[in-house]
Amino acid sequence: MRTQILMAGLLAGTSLVAGTAAQAVEIEYWQYVYETRVTAMDQLIDAFEAANPDITVKQVTFPYADYQTRVVAANMARKGPDVLQMFYGWTDQFVGGKVIQPLSPEVFPHDEIEAEFFPIVTAMKRGDDYYGLPTAVRSLALFYNKDLMTKAGLDPENPPKTLDEMVAAAKAMTEMDAGGNLSTAGMTLDMGGQDHQWWREVLVRQFGGEPYSADYSQVTYNDAAGAAALKFYTDLQLVEKVGQRGFMDEGQAAFRAGRAGLTIDGTFRLGSFSSIEDFEWGVTELPANAEGVRSNYASYFANGIGIGAEGEELAAAEKFLAYISSPEAMKIWLDVVGELPARRDVALTEENLADPIYAPFLKGLDYAKTTLFIDEAAQRQNAIDMANRILIDGQSVEESLAQAAEAEQAIIDKAK
Amino acid sequence: MASMANQGAPERRPGIPGTPGGQPRGRGLSMRTRQLFWVWGFLALPVLFYGVIRFYPTLNAFWLSLTDWDLMSEPEFIGIDNYTRMFSDPEFWKVFRNTFTYLIVGTPISLVLSFLIAFALDRIRFGHTFLRALYFLPYITTASAMAWVWRWFYQPAPIGFINDLLGRVGIPQMAFLNSTTWALPSIMVTAIWAGLGFQIIIFMAGLRAIPTTYYEAARIDGLGEASILRRITLPLLKPTTVFLVVFSSIGFLRIFDQVYNMTTNDPGGPLGSTKPLVLMIYQTAFSSYEMGYAAAQTVVLFTILLCVSLLQLWLLRER
């Protein structure tokens, strides 16, 4: 008799569990480990689940170095995530490898996307389909050390606005020790950092060239303008002697340590620079050329929907993606992570535009370009090598540029 | 343990039917068969483990090297395309040269150094254990931690330790990791230093294993120290040397940790001047996701390792 009661109770219990399981949908969200990003996502998930009690979202994270491999491997095993974060530059690989699926235009109308997001969102479009939407975007700006500026007799409230002013300021802040070695760099030179983006999308354009054809399928920087841009960059070390590749190991490390006057870096560096206590720093728009031409490089991590999501999971994934791309989510992301909102009206508020730190990055977003990378790591390496051939091996600018253009074209062609 | 358990078995045999958990299957089998059964029972686990975790992937790599697998789509057979691409790629030959530079320069230097140190250490009594521990310490240190410390040593002024010292005595800076000429030797020094402790310990064990009576007889016969070294110590150390040459060669052919950690901003750089084969394989596989091409590079590395090991065993064989 007692066993019968127990059995009945157990049965009732399991059916209850089964009943709720049938109603609730669980979806998985994947991103890489970065403390503030994980915290922000936890907050977003809590808010989302409160509004959608029938959906649970499980956040799964991996170290950045393994992240892409994990996504690809899990996808091979048909255990991929329902919603995942991805660098915009991985889109070709992920679309080609059937990792992500196109966003349904009924749920995410194209005209709304294009009207409300910054134009760089089109880097997620292939053919007629969007494959993801960003929560936040990043751009570049020029960071400057106010203490070093004051020491060099410059006005720390009036940072360089043009390339010429930038070189002059860097020269004034450069210091050598008795042995003729650089002890304070006027400016950091770090192609492996953000300089390759600065050279490609900003300097080449400012010297009158175009880095790539409009669809980024042809390398077009191998001309006089590209050479002038590369010469300007390498001359910072070779002629102006305001910086040196490898100084303090990394550009951002030199700036952090107060050993560099100027450095070009992205929004994502704000978190790390905000803990600097030894000196005051500021940030300003990337310098214009003499004719006032400006450019910038913007990038972002987007959220896409995994190819495995179907039926009610797909519906839940779409709801979740819509929420994490909403103005509300972007505000949380800006507060917690410090990355700029991807929607114009959320980003370009009076409050943000008056913010001395966000404003230069936001202004940059207006005219920023987004390089459509085929293989970001390989293309970055190509730019590093291009500068090193000149700075270390003494190759001529023209030769190194031609070699780099040929090698990068080969990388692009191989992916076709 | 297996054999011990079996040794007692014949006496207990008549009692088996009453013993709980006794093995009825063992009845009627000869002792030898039962021993074999036990041996294989114990060996099954490692055999299975090696089969599934080591040998199957190794064999699979040979197959993958003939495909265009990119981790995302099903692998397709493309014949020897990966190999023709590899052998016509100047980048591959540069990496190939680098790998052999690590091997050909690194192995002899590390062996001569470790022998000299072991030989000297063997003769001193004062502070012997302390010194030995000091030499062994790098070997048990994490390679990446060590590489980062050396990376700091090699930095240009004002943070680099060595360049700072040079600067103080008025010697011009050395570019070390920022030079295409000096980066590879700089990394090699770190790798040699890291492996030294292990080689010293093995050499010292080898030296201790040589019977002292040989030395005494030689001294009575009036042989000089140099002759003793040449005619007694070195020939009798041959097994130790063979082991260390093979071990150290494989180590240098597989060098990765030091290079990767000392050049993370530009892995294998500057301009690929320090890149070894393993780093190239890693980048091809996990940065470009060209698994088929990476497998082809792995097959080449496997072949080199096999050849070098066989060649050394043959050269240093007992005549």
Whether B73 is in a domain gets the answer: no
pLDDT class of B16 with cuts at 50, 70, 90: very low
Is there a single domain that holds both residue B28 and residue B129?
Answer: no
Domain assignment of residue B219, yes or no: yes
CA distances from A60 to A53, A132, A328 (A): 20, 19, 22
Q: How would residue B132 be classed by pLDDT, with cut points 50, 70 and 90? A: confident
Q: Which residue of A has its CA nearest to B168?
A: A179
Q: In the predicted model, what is the mean pLDDT of residues A51-80?
A: 90
Q: What is the pLDDT of residue A268?
A: 84
**Claim to verify: residue B215 and residue B296 sit in the same structural domain:** yes
Which chain A residues are within 8 Å of B172, Cβ to Cβ?
A: 179
What's the pLDDT score for residue B30?
86
Phi, then psi, of A155 in degrees rounded to 5: -85, 110
Pick from A75, A96, A392: which is nearest to B180 by CB?
A392
Q: Which domain holds residue B171?
A: 83-315
- Please tell me whether residues B49 and B131 are part of one structural domain: no
pLDDT in tens, B208-261: 999 999 999 999 988 888 889 888 999 999 889 988 998 999 999 999 999 999
Provide the percentage of residues in chain B whose pLDDT is more than 70.
91
3-state secondary structure of A299: strand
Any domain includes B35: yes
Same domain? B100 vs B196 = yes
Select from A149, A406, A161, A104 the least CA-distant residue to A287.
A161
* Total domain count, chain B: 2
CATH code of the domain covering residue B175: 1.10.3720.10
Task: Please check whether residue A259 touches B, CB under 8 A.
Answer: yes
Lowest mean pLDDT among A3-7, A204-208, A229-233, A403-407: A3-7
Judge if B210 and B283 occupy the same domain.
yes
The answer as to whether B74 is a domain residue is no
Residue A4: predicted pLDDT: 53
Answer left, alpha or beta for residue B14, where phi above 0 means left and psi between -120 and 50 means alpha: alpha
Residue B40 domain-assigned (yes or no) = yes
Q: Is B77 a member of any domain?
A: no
pLDDT given at position B3: 41
The predicted-structure confidence for A280-323, as pLDDT tens digits, reads as follows 999 999 999 999 999 999 999 999 999 999 999 999 999 999 99
Mean of the per-residue pLDDT values of chain B: 86
Please name the residues between 103 and 162 in chain B that touch chain A, using a CB distance below 8 Å. 151, 155-159
Beta carbons of A97 and B72 less than 8 Å apart:
yes
> Residue B9: which pLDDT band, with cuts at 50, 70 and 90?
very low
- Give, to the nearest 10 degrees, the angle between helix B238-253 and helix B291-315: 160
Any chain B CB within 8 A of the CB of A411?
no
Give A-chain residues touching B158 at CB under 8 angstroms: 177, 181, 183, 248, 259
CB within 8 A of B252, min separation 6: which ones? B99, B102, B103, B106, B107, B191
Instruction: Confirm or reject contact between A75 and chain B (CB < 8 A).
Output: yes
What CA–CA distance (Å, rounded) separates A302 from A342?
Answer: 10
Query: Are B227 and B122 in a shared domain?
Result: yes
Do B119 and B226 lie in one domain? The reply is: yes
Per-residue tokens: A304: 């896409």
Enter the ipTM: 0.81
- Shared-domain flag, residues B296 and B153: yes
Nearest C-alpha in B relative to A100: B72
List CB contacts (< 8 A) between A69 and chain B. 71, 286
- B260 inside domain: yes
Task: Map tokens 């680099």 to a residue.
Answer: B160
- Measured between CB atoms, does B36 come within 8 Å of chain A? no
The two structure tokens encoding residue A182: 């650089």
Test A93 with B289 for CB contact under 8 angstroms.
yes
Angstrom distance (rounded) from CA B27 to CA B10: 10
Residue A416, classified by CB atoms within 10 Å of its CB into exposed (0-12), middle (13-18) or buried (19+), is exposed
Quick one: B187 and B224 in the same domain? yes
Q: What is the mean pLDDT of residues B100-109?
A: 95
CA distance A224 to A219: 14
The string of pLDDT tens digits covering residues B114-126 is 999 999 998 888 8
B129 and B216 in a single domain? The answer is: yes
- Whether A381 and chain B come into contact, CB under 8 Å, resolves to yes
Average pLDDT value over all residues in chain A: 90
Measured distance between the N- and C-terminal CA atoms of chain B, rounded to whole angstroms: 38
Query: Please, are residues A335 and A271 in contact by the beta-carbon 8 Å criterion?
Result: no
Is A395 in the B-facing interface, judged by CB distances under 8 Å? no
**What SS3 class is residue B121?**
helix
Helices (H), B50-182: 56-64, 81-87, 90-123, 128-140, 143-154, 161-168
B72/A384 Cβ within 8 A: no
> Do the chains contact at A393 and B71, CB–CB below 8 Å?
no
In chain A, the domains with their CATH numbers are 24-137+299-369 (3.40.190.10), 140-297+374-414 (3.40.190.10)
Tens digits of residue pLDDT in A313-353: 999 999 999 999 999 999 999 888 888 999 999 999 999 99
**For residues A72 and B289, is the Cβ–Cβ distance under 8 A?**
yes
Q: What b/e string do you get for A243-279 counting C-beta neighbours within 10 Å, with b at 16 or more?
A: bbbbbbbbbbbbbbeebbbbbbbbbbbbeebeeeeee
**pLDDT reading at B62 higher than 60:** yes
CB contact under 8 A, A181 and B156: yes
B27, B59: one domain = yes
- Lowest-confidence range among A176-180, B40-44, B188-192? A176-180
Predicted pLDDT at A35: 86
Residue B78 forms part of a structural domain: no
Residue of A192, A246, A375 lying closest to B156 (CB–CB): A246
Helix, strand, coil shares of chain B, percent, nearest 5, are: 75, 0, 25
CA distance B265 to chain A (A): 6
**Percent of chain A at pLDDT exceeding 90:** 75
Best mutation target among B178, B179, B260, B264 (most A Cβ atoms within 10 Å) is: B178
Please check whether residues B33 and B170 belong to one and the same domain: no
Residue contact A181–B287, C-beta within 8 A: no
